[in-house]
Amino acid sequence: MTDKVVRLKTVKPSKPEKDEGLDANLMLTLMEFAAIMETSKAKSFAAVACDESGEIITTWYSALPHNALIGAVEMLKNDYMMNQWMYDEDEGDWQ
């Protein structure tokens, strides 16, 4: 298994008091993700979209074998749980 290209990080809304569709910081993060995929020559991806309360809106995945997709979801879950555990509120970002 290779090392991950980027670390999981918190993306805060640019205007948390306003609900005007897709947030600018979310769009920048998606563009960064696309750039990393291009640089890394990624061949597939999996994604989950959630609303403000954490409810899953929809999911996407591209041409992944089922075992790779399950592995990707498990890695994301593990990273998220570990980063929540290591979160330092003073820094305002995950470790």
pLDDT over threshold 80, residue 86:
no
8-32: average pLDDT: 78
pLDDT over threshold 80, residue 32:
yes
Q: Hey, what are 85's tokens? A: 């555990």
The answer, as to whether pTM is greater than 0.75, is no
Q: What does the pLDDT read at residue 14?
A: 77
- Rounded to whole angstroms, how far apart are CA atoms 14 and 18? 9
Query: Helix, strand, coil shares of the chain as percentages rounded to 5?
Result: 40, 15, 45
